[in-house]
Amino acid sequence: MSDELYRLVYYSRNQLETETETGDFEAQVADILARSRHNNQRDDITGALLFNAGCFAQVLEGPLGNVEAAFERIQQDERHGEVSLLTLEPIAARSFPNWAMGFVGERADTAERFARVGLESGFDPSRLSGDHIHTVLKDLVIEEEATAA
């Protein structure tokens, strides 16, 4: 299996229960993140996940076999649907070296920017560019890191 680093970017429709009164929506996202971070650390995968307006966008980077295996599991997950692969390409270096799975989507300005990504494409995943999502996520994670520091 090749050790060459690859980046995968996809976009999907969120199918989490948003209308429960128990407020367990956040718990469901926390669940996804906890499992992702655990598995990704094990599999030498880094990346970031963005959620807003009923959609997920995610960047996964790592050895090709591990990234493909993670994406295979992710595609089967019923917590989202219409999973659209946007990019799978070799990369020289990771964009999210410090993140087993960074998460952005809680801050209002972040939410607004992702809404813009969606609007520009008419919320049509087939018209969204993986490069665009990658750039937006990278900028947002850098901002989050600066805020946290």
User: How is residue 106 written in tokens?
Assistant: 């809680």
Shortest distance, CB of residue 87 to ligand FAD, whole angstroms?
Answer: 15
Question: Which of residues 80 and 146 has its CB atom nearest to ligand FAD in the complex?
Answer: 80
Shortest distance, CB of residue 10 to ligand FAD, whole angstroms?
Answer: 9
Shortest distance, CB of residue 2 to ligand FAD, whole angstroms?
Answer: 20
Smallest Cα–Cα separation from 133: which of 75, 63, 52?
52
Q: Where does this chain bind ligand FAD (CB under 6 A)?
A: 31-32, 35-36, 39-40, 49, 56, 58, 60, 70, 73-74, 76-80, 101
DSSP secondary structure, 21-33, as one string:
TT-HHHHHHHHHH
Question: Which of residues 2 and 76 has its CB atom nearest to ligand FAD in the complex?
Answer: 76
CB 99 within 8 Å of CB 36:
no
Query: What is the rounded CA–CA span in Å between residue 80 and residue 14?
Result: 4
Residue 44 backbone phi and psi in degrees, to 5: 60, 35
Shortest distance, CB of residue 70 to ligand FAD, whole angstroms?
Answer: 5
Shortest distance, CB of residue 38 to ligand FAD, whole angstroms?
Answer: 7
Residue 105 backbone phi and psi in degrees, to 5: 155, -5
Question: Which of residues 56 and 114 has its CB atom nearest to ligand FAD in the complex?
Answer: 56
Element (H, E) at 146: helix 130-148
Residue with tokens 């494409």: 121
Question: Which of residues 102 and 144 has its CB atom nearest to ligand FAD in the complex?
Answer: 102
Question: Which of residues 46 and 113 has its CB atom nearest to ligand FAD in the complex?
Answer: 46
